[in-house]
Amino acid sequence: MTTISIHAAVIHDLQKKQHTQGDDSVVLVERQSLHESNALLDKFAEKVDYDSRNASRVTSTCGSFTRENTLSKVIASHYMSNGNQNIEADAFLELSKEMVRALKKQMQDEMMATGGYIPVLWYKRDNKDYLVIGLVNPSSGFTLDPTGAIIPNTNIDNASLRFSVSIELAVFNQHLNEDSVVQDGNLDEDNDTTNLISNYVRWTRKKGFVAQYFQSFVPTAIPLNDGATTKEIIKYIGKYLDHIIPETYEGRKKLRYSTEQQIYGLMSQKCRSEDTVNVEEDILPIFEALKVSNPELFPQDQDVITFGEYCENEGYTDYNSIFNPKQSTVDKKLKVDIQVGESISIKGTKRDIDKATSLVVESQQVNDKHYKLMIKLTEEEYENIKRNNIGIKVENKVIQDE
């Protein structure tokens, strides 16, 4: 059985109304003492730890240790001022305040953000130290008294933990050390072990969503469900194809479309498996295959601008991203073409096809299977089809409960 030992914990409070922005939009209520260890706090820590290990397959590393108003810089600065990479219990309260002040700065720039309780936990599980910071709805049955203590009748199991981030401190420290060496310019490229760092940032998320400002607060190297990056990558993919495919080529539109759809299909597969898209490893090979398979357009002796060079020229610097594509954004772009028989064709975006259709396998006996494509219709659509297609076959079926 997993045992959790809490080193220190405190729950601060960020108060913000939606549709507000700016320095005065967020009120920070800092607690002046750590929480005393009790059963409620233990229960809450166990819940957060469990959720952080089970709620999401998506993990990451920190993207920077020097960016202002970030969790990673607060911790790195704390280490530097102490002269070692340790967190001390008597310094944890002040450290937690610095973290929440940085989070406040990130939150105040987000118009739609709303405040809540900010638990900051430092604990040990399986001989590993973890730091967790999150945001809890204040109206979820999770309540505090004016001093910040958890009220005894709080139902923590039903607390609405909107999102949190869990950081395995030992690996964070290792990454910080290697990042510092790289910045100092003392690392031999042949001995670069940064890519051996395992992901140590793990999300807890509600309904698959972690606010962008909270991801920027870490900051995460691999954005989670990143709609902004998805849109930008899609935009520059289209612009790049328009740039390299000659305008005089008769099949230009078709070639551009097929290449885009191949990329969107890859992104869609990544969405379903909750995997990241690595632009260099996943998308650039598709551009290279396009050039190789069309030698009449891209002769081998002709220099064709790369995707990276094109993006640099356009002022877009995040072209070499690793990101989690946003499903709804990709599905609006990915086209589906279903062919049935010799003359029936159903076309549309994946988003609309998924909403309206489903493949069904009917099997009453082991060797008696029937395959059907079911399309859901509104009453208006049903009546329009009947009215505009005189003589179409109509079956009335009554489905009885078994």
Q: Hey, what amino acid is at 313?
A: N
Q: What is the DSSP letter of 144?
A: B
Measured between alpha carbons, how far is 263 from 5 in angstroms, rounded to an integer? Answer: 46
pLDDT of amino acid 355: 85
Cα(328)–Cα(325) distance, integer angstroms: 9
Taking only the tens place, the pLDDT of each residue in 362-391 is: 887 777 888 888 888 899 988 998 889 888
User: What pLDDT score was predicted for residue 38?
Assistant: 78
pLDDT of 168 above 50: yes
Q: Which pLDDT does position 167 carry in this prediction?
A: 95
Q: Which pLDDT score is estimated for 147?
A: 63
CB 217 within 8 Å of CB 179? no
Cross-sheet strand order for the sheet of 59-60: 26-29, 4-16, 116-125, 128-136, 161-168, 201-205, 59-60
pLDDT at residue 208, as a whole number: 58
The per-residue pLDDT for 193 is: 45
Q: Tell whether the model's pLDDT for residue 272 goes beyond 90.
A: no
- What does the alpha-carbon distance between residue 103 and residue 133 come to, in Å, rounded to a whole number? 10
Q: Copy the structure tokens of residue 357.
A: 């259709």
pLDDT at 266: 95
In the predicted structure, residue 126 carries a pLDDT above the cut 50: yes
Residue 368 has phi, psi (to 5 degrees) of -130, 85
Per-residue model confidence as pLDDT tens digits over 8-52: 999 898 999 888 999 899 999 898 888 887 787 788 788 778 777
pLDDT per residue over 175-216, tens digit each?
999 887 555 444 344 444 445 788 899 887 665 578 889 999
Question: In the predicted model, what is the mean pLDDT of residues 346-374?
Answer: 85
Largest CA distance in the chain: 84
State yes or no: pLDDT of 62 exceeds 60: yes
* Distance between CA atoms of residues 5 and 158, nearest Å: 22
The H or E element containing residue 361 is strand 357-365
Predicted local confidence at residue 191, as pLDDT: 43
DSSP state of 225: S
Query: Cα separations (Å) of 236 from 4, 75, 93?
Result: 47, 36, 45
pLDDT at site 161: 72
With contact defined as beta carbons under 8 Å apart, do 61 and 144 qualify?
no
pLDDT higher than 70, residue 141: no
Using one digit for the tens of pLDDT, what is the confidence trace for 300-345?
878 899 999 999 999 988 788 788 888 899 999 999 888 888 888 8
**How large is the average pLDDT for residues 58-63?**
86
Measured distance CA(196)–CA(253) in Å, rounded: 42
In whole angstroms, how far apart are CA 318 and each of 66, 221, 236, 280, 309? 18, 12, 11, 12, 12
Least confident piece of the model among 28-32, 281-285, 347-351, 394-398: 394-398
pLDDT of residue 136: 83
The predicted model gives 82-109 an average pLDDT of 94
The average confidence (pLDDT) of the chain is: 85
SS (H, E, C) 252-310: HHHHHHHHHHHHHHHHHHHHHHCCCEEHHHHHHHHHHHHHHHCCCCCCCCCCCCCHHHH
Strands (E), 30-160: 59-60, 116-125, 128-136
What was the pLDDT predicted at 399? 66
Q: What is the pLDDT of residue 188?
A: 42
